[in-house]
Chain A
Amino acid sequence: MEVLKNEKIIRYYDMEIFRRKDKLRMEFLAPATEKGRRMLSDDDNLWMYLPRTSKVMKLPFKQSFMGSDASNRDLMRMAYRKDYIIVKTTEKSKNILELELKAKDASVSYNKMIVTMDMTTLSPLKQEMFSLSDKLIKTMLFENPAKVDGIYIPSTFIIINELQKNTITRMYYSNMQRTHNKPEEFFTLASIKK
């Protein structure tokens, strides 16, 4: 992941990510100051393990993810079905579908989202996030879909903070696999300390 300001990289991170249902576990590999840091999201909770002190602390979903343009919720919470309902679908052109999602309650970060889907690959192309006052806050662009076990998954995410026009965050995914042998216990608070 790269965070750029005025086209210059100000932060970068290498991470390894595992997912199981709505749980996500992330381990930082670089830079050296963050090596060994782990994050775990489990539905409504987000924890971070700091190897320097062997301490686990709870993080708020609304905070920026490691100083990037994404919030912790944008990257660590995998619950769109739980948080949003589809209120409108529009066919923008052949095989391009636009979905308008509305938040089920006020606890989520964005009141409205518009997701543009490529129906040939069934992968997202763009996601626009709006505030309660219907103001565009962030845009996520999904590029370079990679075919992983027969499913297309975008391998590049570009996050544009519409309120701070001079910054951008890019995420590059590699070595993606749809299955792993990690048991449920691997996605627990106790396990990220081990």
Chain B
Amino acid sequence: MKIKIILVIICWNLLHVYHLRAQSDQFFYQMIFETKIGYNDIDKKSALNPNNFIGINSFHSLSQFYPVVGFKNSLNTTQTAFQAEAIVQNYNFERDSTLFGMQELYGQISFEDKHHLTVGKKRLDWGTGLIWNPTNFFIQKDPLRTQNRLEGIFMLNYTYIAKKGEWNMYLFPDKRISDFKMAAKYNYSGDKVDASISFLEYGRRQQFGMDLSYGGSVFTAYGEGVIKNFTQSYGIDTKGHLITPDVRNGKFYAEWVIGASVLLNAQLTLNAEYRYRGDQLSRDGIKIYKAYLPANTVLYDAVSIGKHSLFGNLTYSDLYSRWSIQCRNFYDPVSGQWIISPLGIRTLNNFQAEVSAMIYSQSFNLFHSQINILISYSF
């Protein structure tokens, strides 16, 4: 009984301290709730999933909760910071499908706003592309929702910030200490031009990357590309046999993106992006892939499975940023896959609602169409 009373007193005091610290500038917290519910119009003639063999539900839901806490402290010219972001997610409101994880968990120490040392799990922001980032080997966005909160990666990072540029050195631990990845990146920021070069190595695998963006107040053009000797994608031979990524490694190939963003007027923005991936399927490869479905489902990509991918989007926002509508298009000219995805977003101060649809055409997809409603609340 005494122990329970002591525990209650300790908890009360901790809550009191927490409350006091929450009032100061040094400590911050944020709670984000997101719920997505959707309807899938399943294609029962799909070569990937004939007669819904893998049992996809027509209705689906995903609830996510992100508690974010952190603190910052300054002492003369030295700043220390700590931030943690957890995730609790649940599929279809089923108790067994609740998952817990850490999105970010890192500490950072900075000297004179020039030297920054970061240790822990943190998101990495490599690349200038809006939808696709070939230079970012570590984290790839969901092209159908680029605003998703992404999971960070474990790293040791040193950054030196100069007046017109930034040097970065990274070490990324792997399963074994001896298997760490190493990377370096230099960013230059000029008046209208931003550019970077990067290098990544682990074992015998190397990636050389660069990106460039040129922009004024209404028009921005950008490009981003890598040459690398490893892949994470499967290949297919002429007899329809799958070739694993390990077997394909060793040969250098290119992957790059070019894009542009144009502000047509204060409310209307046009985006376009093209991606080339040297390790993906050619026209002949797609014929073979199609002939041997569903055995080679592992090659499937909802947006594009060929070497070439195109993206185009028109966004119209109201003057007060309370709502916006978008018409997004993804097209793969090699396979003929085309996704039209309209999106509407309504924003109030702490609340956001999104309604989106995906309409699939000429594709190997699992669906004819999908409709999603996402509601997000933060405090």
Interface residues of A (CB under 8 A from B): 3, 5, 10-12, 31-33, 35-36, 43-46, 50, 52-56, 58, 60-64, 66-68, 71, 107, 164, 167, 181-186, 188-191, 193-194
Interface residues of B (CB under 8 A from A): 28, 30-32, 77, 108, 110, 112-114, 116, 122-125, 141, 146-150, 159, 161-166, 187, 189, 191-192, 194, 213, 215-218, 220, 263, 266, 318-322, 347, 349-352, 376, 378-379
CA distance A193 to B189 in the complex (A): 13
CA distance A75 to B183 in the complex (A): 38
Chain B residues with CB under 8 A of A55 = 125
Knowing that A10-B322, A54-B122 touch, tell me 13 more A-B residue pairs with CB under 8 angstroms.
Answer: A32-B31, A33-B376, A35-B30, A53-B146, A54-B125, A58-B213, A58-B215, A62-B263, A183-B112, A183-B113, A188-B162, A190-B189, A194-B110
Contact between chains at A45 and B266 (CB < 8 Å): no
**Which residue of B31, B32, B159 contacts A194 across the interface (Cβ within 8 Å)?**
B159
- If over half of B's interface residues share one DSSP class (helix, strand or loop), that class is named, otherwise mixed; here it is loop
Contact between chains at B378 and A33 (CB < 8 Å): yes
CA distance A64 to B113 in the complex (A): 30
Chain A residues with CB under 8 A of B123 = 53-54
Chain A residues with CB under 8 A of B122 = 54
Chain B residues with CB under 8 A of A60 = 217-218, 263
Contact between chains at B124 and A54 (CB < 8 Å): yes
Contact between chains at B163 and A11 (CB < 8 Å): no
Contact between chains at B161 and A190 (CB < 8 Å): yes
Contact between chains at B320 and A11 (CB < 8 Å): yes
Contact between chains at A189 and B113 (CB < 8 Å): no
- Nearest chain B CB to A176's CB is how many angstroms away? 16
Chain A residues with CB under 8 A of B112 = 183, 185
Q: Given the known A-B contacts A164-B319, A167-B320, A188-B189, are A56 and B114 also in contact in the complex, defined by CB atoms under 8 Å?
A: no
- Nearest chain B CB to A147's CB is how many angstroms away? 24
Q: Given the known A-B contacts A62-B218, A167-B320, are A188 and B166 also in contact in the complex, defined by CB atoms under 8 Å?
A: yes
Contact between chains at A58 and B320 (CB < 8 Å): no
Chain A residues with CB under 8 A of B351 = 33
Chain B residues with CB under 8 A of A58 = 213, 215, 220
CA distance A31 to B266 in the complex (A): 24
- Nearest chain A CB to B354's CB is how many angstroms away? 13
**Closest A residue, CB atoms, query B66:** A52
- Nearest chain B CB to A139's CB is how many angstroms away? 17
CA distance A3 to B322 in the complex (A): 11
Across the A-B interface, give the 3 residue pairs with the lowest CB-CB distance, nearest first. A67-B321, A190-B166, A32-B378
Contact between chains at A11 and B349 (CB < 8 Å): yes
Chain B residues with CB under 8 A of A63 = 263, 266
